[in-house]
Amino acid sequence: MHLTLALVLSALLFAAGVYGVLVRRNAVALLMAVELMLNAANLDLVAFDAWFKDRLHSGQTLALFVVVIAAAEVGVGLAIVLALFRMRDSVAVDEAIDLADRDPVRRPVEQTQ
């Protein structure tokens, strides 16, 4: 298999993930789009590992670490989505305004002498 084929497929997967992050307003769909982007990065890591014929297989090792981190991210993300659903009865990201910072300007605390 040529490296170009894997890189083009990875670019298409990553572009689909970016499109999903930018367009979707459902929190679960956002998590799936992020996972798609992480899988595109894993495909690149494994393709370059095979292309350079690395004896230590560092690309595959790093891809394994990315999979582990992605699993942890999905666990935390789904817990947040579940809490949001219980609180608002919806997983729409636009309706989660109460999670935003209401006072974006932080004033320094005055010192008393």
| pLDDT mean over 98-103 | 69
Taking only the tens place, the pLDDT of each residue in 17-64 is 999 999 988 989 999 999 999 999 999 999 999 999 988 899 999 999
* pLDDT at 107 (0 to 100): 62
Decide if pLDDT at 68 tops 90: yes
| pLDDT mean over 89-112 | 72
The span from the first CA to the last CA of the chain, in angstroms, equals 73
The CATH label, of 3.30.450.20, 3.40.1030.10, 1.10.260.40, 1.10.287.3510, for the domain at 3-92 is 1.10.287.3510
Domain extent listing, the chain: 3-92
Label each residue of the chain as H, E or C: CCHHHHHHHHHHHHHHHHHHHHHCCEHHHHHHHHHHHHHHHHHHHHHHHHHHCCCCCHHHHHHHHHHHHHHHHHHHHHHHHHHHHHHHCCCEHHHCHHHCCCCCCCCCCCCCC
* pLDDT at 105 (0 to 100): 66
- In this prediction the pTM is 0.79
